[in-house]
Amino acid sequence: MSRYEAVIFDKDGTLFDFGATWGAWARRVLGDLAEHDTALAGRVASALGFDLATARYDPDSPAISGTIAQTAAIIAAVMERPRPEIEAFLTRRATDARAVPVAPLAPLLNALSARGLRLALATNDSLAPPLAQLRAAGIEWLLSEVRTAGPGVRPKPHPDMLLSIAAALKLAPARVLMVGDSRADIAAARAAGMDVVAVLSGPTEPVSLAGADAVIDHIGMLPSWLDAAGQCHP
């Protein structure tokens, strides 16, 4: 019997390149939100751990693993504007963002499916952006389950989304592998009773991923890791 029956992926930093997807995007969005008030945009960027000049996030940026609602709350506090207004704006702009894949996703996910693995997604994003990005990448149909943070579903590092996926697939958590790029992914997997592979394709410092069962460069290396871990072809 194979070691795992399903794989749950994080989205940003795992399936999609975090910096390439959200770096220049954030610079444009913060500029638009601040109505091109450079000083205000700078204060918001500082609160988010984002460098406007380089379009790079600090590894400890609350925007990396936070929900859109949490990010909106930080921005709203700095700008003294209503949080729901900021959240709606961010959601709309994120839905239109062009997500840059870390690796050719359709061939990779098809190959994993051919092993008999069921595939799923758990992201702290709200629902509309990931659905649009998965559809644009041509992989939406390859995912059995998609979970996002929202009312009644706590974001990672809480295990809610992972346990919900395991229950929907009728699998024991120990039969499910989590793949992510952040401390929140590792903590959620541990709390859910799942093994976890961390990838180095996100903005998190490698030392912060030490709690994973394994660390690989990117998800393109996952099939080789699965072979070494005893996940044989059907």
Active site residues: 10
Give the closest residue to 120 by CA, choosing from 175, 158, 68, 71: 175
Our measurement of the distance from residue 27's CA atom to the centroid of its chain's CA atoms, rounded to an integer in Å, reads: 20
Burial of 70 (0-12, 13-18, 19+ CB in 10 A): middle
Contacts of residue 213, defined as CB under 8 A and 6 or more positions apart, other chains included, come to: 195, 196, 197
H or E segment and range at residue 106: helix 105-114
> What is the spatial distance between Cα 209 and Cα 227, in angstroms, rounded to a whole number?
22
User: What φ, ψ does residue 114 adopt, rounded to 5°?
Assistant: -65, -20
